[in-house]
Amino acid sequence: MKIYTKTGDKGTTGLFGGKRVSKDDIRIEAYGTLDEVNSFLGQLNASFEIKEYNLLLLKVQNRLFDMGSHLASDPEKNVLPSGIGEEDIYELEKAMDNMDSFLPPLKNFILPGGHPVVAMAHICRTVCRRAERRVISLHSISPADENIIRFLNRLSDFLFVFSRFLSFQFNVPEVIWSSGSKN
């Protein structure tokens, strides 16, 4: 089977169910941004070896793909399930609580950096926030599974804590923000 179909050559793409929409439709923006965060998570996951977290990130990547499939469905037809449940959200919360138990209290704003893997975790976090905004925009005009929004919100929190945890694991200091008035 060929990967190219030429059906998108005029700026449209097909949803599951057959409906064609513009490639700049908010639905395409939403699931396209999920694809972006998924790709960045793949890069992050390939950049370190902490088995417990490698496995968790792989699971997150699979859930993001499930969410993308849900959002790529024609809302007027049978929508594919998002695959996101309370247990997925709880798993992120549990992982955050575990990582937090190793970290000093957060007393300052921190900047992305200090180590390439830490910076990559921050990139994942910010792209995840963008995905959340896109899904919320879509949700305001075409309701989607609210667990997607909750999961993305929790995932961005997880990625922030994970960036701190990676600094701890790699024994590199966090980069503390210093306002322009303090420089």
Is residue 9 domain-resident? no
Q: What is the dihedral of CA 180, 164, 33, 69, to 10 degrees?
A: -160
* pLDDT range class, residue 35, cuts 50, 70, 90: very high
**Rounded average pLDDT over 5-22:** 78
- CATH assignment at residue 81: 1.20.1200.10
Please classify residue 138 by burial: count the beta carbons closer than 10 Å to its beta carbon, then call 0-12 exposed, 13-18 middle and 19+ buried.
Answer: buried
Task: Examine residue 54 and state whether it is found in any structural domain, yes or no.
Answer: yes
163 domain-assigned: yes
Q: Kindly state whether residue 182 falls inside one of the protein's structural domains.
A: no
What pLDDT, on the 0 to 100 scale, is given for residue 179? 86
Domain with 137, as residue range(s), is 19-176
Residue 79 lies in a domain: yes
Residue 3, domain member (yes or no): no
Number of domains in the chain: 1
Question: End-to-end alpha-carbon separation of the chain, Å?
Answer: 59
- Does the residue 41 lie in any domain? yes
pLDDT tens by residue, 55-112:
999 999 999 999 999 999 888 886 778 889 999 999 999 999 999 999 999 999 999 9
Beta carbons within 10 angstroms of residue 53's beta carbon: 19
| Domain membership flag for residue 183 | no
The overall pTM is greater than 0.85: yes
